[in-house]
Amino acid sequence: MHSAQLLIVDDEKDLLQGLKRMLAREFQHLDIHTRHDPAAALALVREKPLDLVLLDIQMPEIHGLELLKKMNSIDKNLTVIMMTGYGSIEVAVQAMKSGAYDFITKPFDKTILFRAVGKGLEHNHLLRENIKLRERICEKEPFANFVGQSAPMQRLYHGIRTTARTDYTVLILGESGTGKELTARAIHSLSKRRDNPLLMVNCPAIPEHLLESELFGHRKGAFTGAHRDQPGLFVEADKGTLCLDEIGDIPVAIQTKLLRVLQEQEIKPLDSSKTRSVDVRIIASTNRNLEEKIKDHSFREDLFYRLNVVSLQTPTLAEIREDIPLLIDHFTRQVCCELELPENFRSYQGSTPENHAASYYYQQ
């Protein structure tokens, strides 16, 4: 059986040893660590996943509530029970607001202590299991719209998972219709930025004279029609991800400004003399051969290398021939759903399901 990890932090060494003996007799599968030095306690929190912490409030070097905040900054899901010989409603409320799970007073009543520790361990177990469950769900959801089990698709799935663990700039290469946008969304959904914005920009769809303003923002009066300040997509995507679709089609002048953002992590809005720092992950995609565009001087080589920190290639249909039956079934289901056709409509004989759906549609 897995031993639960308990840390007791108190400046009184005798109390630490007494608590350790008492709890070891009651909880046989408890691995108990003691620390009288706050710095050593924080080091253990960084080093080892803990199930429960008993933390004294009144300590000479640092107040327990301050140490609690430091522990929570290391592990926001840490379960902590505060201990004090100066029990009061005010201190209890303050401890709970600071992130404590429970609050017990000295001298300890064994029954109350054992109950608090038991409930704290149970709370931590449920909390950790819930986190694992959410992580498993999050891992599956980003791939819900992908279809294919072939070796090239498995390589793509592996690449997405691996890339999502980093914060590197990503360049997604592939023909039109091979799932570059789905790939970008999956990377963001699996990354540490998933709770922050994901903004998708179809670069060729925005007129050249407006693209710079859309990306970097502008000041009021920067151009005709600029009636107010506009922050721009980089600011809106701060702490999140900005996906630049068809990056190979952006003008060279904007490529230069984009290069500066990647190098300096700051933007300068149109008609502004001030720069602004941004924290944005860039995912770029294209169906163009950027190396060929570099040769004809329509794409900057230095920008290419800044974007191509990590690259993923979405496979073509020819490369995933074995997935074609799965794709047929997937798109046929979509057609039947859109046309409100019954599921068994797909199994009619005599022609393909798509032809049946189209025939049914045009007869209505």
- Listed by start position, the domains of the chain span 4-138, 152-315, 320-363
Which of 64-68, 145-149, 311-315 is the most confident on average?
A: 311-315
Q: Which helix (H) or strand (E) holds 119?
A: helix 110-140
Q: For 94-122, write each residue's pLDDT tens digit.
A: 888 888 998 888 888 899 999 999 999 99
pLDDT at 46 over 80: yes
Query: Which pLDDT score, from 0 to 100, does residue 87 have?
Result: 61
Which of 35-39, 225-229, 281-285 is the most confident on average?
A: 281-285
Please state, rounded to an integer, the average pLDDT across all residues of the chain.
85
Q: For 144-159, write each residue's pLDDT tens digit.
A: 788 899 999 999 999 9
pLDDT at 187 over 70: yes
Q: Do domains 4-138 and 152-315 have the same CATH topology?
A: yes
Query: Which pLDDT score, from 0 to 100, does residue 90 have?
Result: 76
pLDDT at 202 over 70: yes
The model's confidence at residue 206, banded by pLDDT at 50, 70 and 90, is confident
Q: Which residues contact 92 (CB under 8 A, 6 or more apart)?
A: 82, 103
Superfamily of chain region 4-138: Response regulator (3.40.50.2300)
Query: Which pLDDT score, from 0 to 100, does residue 89 have?
Result: 66
Q: For 281-301, write each residue's pLDDT tens digit.
A: 999 999 999 999 999 999 999
Task: Report how far residue 165's alpha carbon sits from residue 188's, in angstroms, rounded to the nearest whole number.
Answer: 10
The model's confidence at residue 302, banded by pLDDT at 50, 70 and 90, is very high
Among residues 171, 170, 160, which one has the least CA distance to residue 290? 171
Query: Which pLDDT score, from 0 to 100, does residue 354 have?
Result: 43
The model's pTM? 0.58
pLDDT at 256 over 80: yes
Please state, in angstroms and as integers, the Cα–Cα distance from residue 9 to each residue in 65, 117, 142, following that order: 12, 14, 41
* Topology (CATH level 3) of domain 152-315: Rossmann fold (3.40.50)
Task: Report how far residue 245's alpha carbon sits from residue 242's, in angstroms, rounded to the nearest whole number.
Answer: 10
